[in-house]
């Protein structure tokens, strides 16, 4: 397929490369020239603007940090919607507020352009492997059109409802992941403070009911003191903020989400916003004055 791609960050760059590997023709744009050069070296064509990336394409994908970035890149001057032709589709794979997704969707519809929100889960490792979980919101027509692209970037893609539903599903995902990491952090801090080897504790519990994909991915990172970001704390804080704003609009109480969001905010204020979100454990460590790591000797 002929595809425009806007946003070549930590997630967008490997996603674009996987589309190229499957033979799709890409025209790419990012405000960071080095990122564009890297994807062009892999076989893409360079665009001069988001509008230029979308011009003449069947589908244009956007992968950006937050709602305001999506609004600017799609609806702003030289934005995707300016270049997109009627009948083409814009698929926003960013994690943003469902309300922003619906706003962008309405603007696209007014120009005869199809829109779908399709955020992803899996972080940088799964973006590189092409095994992301994709949660889509929109019509079945657009979902079917984008399906070959989803297949190149992910191991699963599910249509969850109309525009905005993809991001509601992603927010639900982010709540579960954040609370899981926080609970894991408390558990491993307790075990370490009690004199146990956290790796042994991890091995003992991972096969039981406490086992999870989150535990398997994040516990080894914490024990190895590896907080290189697969998904940054500041981005997870943004997702939980969006979840709380959506919940407030629907009068839904999210007490655990609120607590973990405040923990993430504190970590950002302490200079840890670019840690991997497994770094939530460091706040719990600070309070207990212990580091989760293998005992010496």
Q: CA-to-CA distance for 154 and 231, rounded, in angstroms?
A: 17
- ∠ CA 262-265-270, nearest 5°, is 130
3-state secondary structure of 141: helix
- Could you tell me if 243 and 179 are in contact, meaning their C-beta atoms sit under 8 angstroms apart? no
Q: Which helix (H) or strand (E) holds 46?
A: strand 45-46
Burial label, 110 (beta-carbon count in 10 A; 0-12, 13-18, 19+): exposed
- Could you tell me if 272 and 233 are in contact, meaning their C-beta atoms sit under 8 angstroms apart? yes
Q: CA-to-CA distance for 132 and 127, rounded, in angstroms?
A: 6
* Active-site position among 13, 103, 170, 218: 170
Q: CA-to-CA distance for 77 and 85, rounded, in angstroms?
A: 16
Q: CA-to-CA distance for 217 and 277, rounded, in angstroms?
A: 11
Q: Which helix (H) or strand (E) holds 34?
A: helix 33-41
DSSP states along 136-161:
EES-HHHHHHHHHHHHHHEEEEEEEE
Q: Is 170 a catalytic residue?
A: yes
Q: Which residues are catalytic?
A: 170
């Amino acid at each position: 397929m002929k595809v425009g791609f806007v946003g070549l960050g930590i997630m967008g760059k490997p996603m674009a490369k996987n589309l190229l590997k499957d033979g799709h023709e890409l025209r790419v744009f990012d405000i960071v020239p080095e990122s564009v050069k890297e994807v062009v070296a892999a076989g893409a064509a360079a665009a001069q603007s988001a509008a230029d990336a979308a011009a003449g394409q069947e589908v244009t994908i956007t992968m950006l940090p937050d709602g305001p970035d999506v609004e600017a890149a799609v609806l702003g001057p030289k934005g995707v919607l300016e270049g997109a032709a009627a009948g083409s589709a814009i698929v926003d794979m960013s994690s943003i507020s469902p309300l922003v997704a619906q706003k962008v969707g309405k603007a696209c519809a007014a120009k005869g352009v199809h829109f779908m929100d399709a955020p992803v889960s899996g972080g940088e490792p799964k973006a590189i492997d092409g095994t992301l979980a994709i949660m889509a919101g929109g019509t079945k027509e657009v979902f079917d059109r984008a399906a070959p692209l989803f297949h190149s970037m992910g191991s699963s893609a599910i249509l969850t409802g109309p525009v905005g539903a993809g991001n509601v599903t992603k927010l639900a995902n982010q709540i579960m992941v954040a609370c899981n990491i926080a609970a894991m952090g408390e558990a491993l801090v307790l075990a370490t403070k009690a004199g146990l080897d956290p790796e042994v504790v991890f091995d003992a519990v991972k096969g039981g009911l406490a086992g999870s994909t989150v535990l398997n991915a994040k516990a080894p990172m914490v024990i190895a003191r590896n907080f290189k970001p697969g998904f940054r704390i500041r981005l997870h804080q943004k997702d939980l903020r969006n979840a709380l704003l959506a919940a407030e609009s629907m009068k839904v109480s999210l007490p655990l989400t609120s607590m973990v969001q405040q923990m993430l905010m504190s970590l950002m204020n302490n200079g840890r916003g670019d840690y991997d979100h497994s770094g939530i454990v460091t706040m719990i460590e600070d309070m207990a004055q212990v580091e989760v790591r293998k005992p010496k000797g």
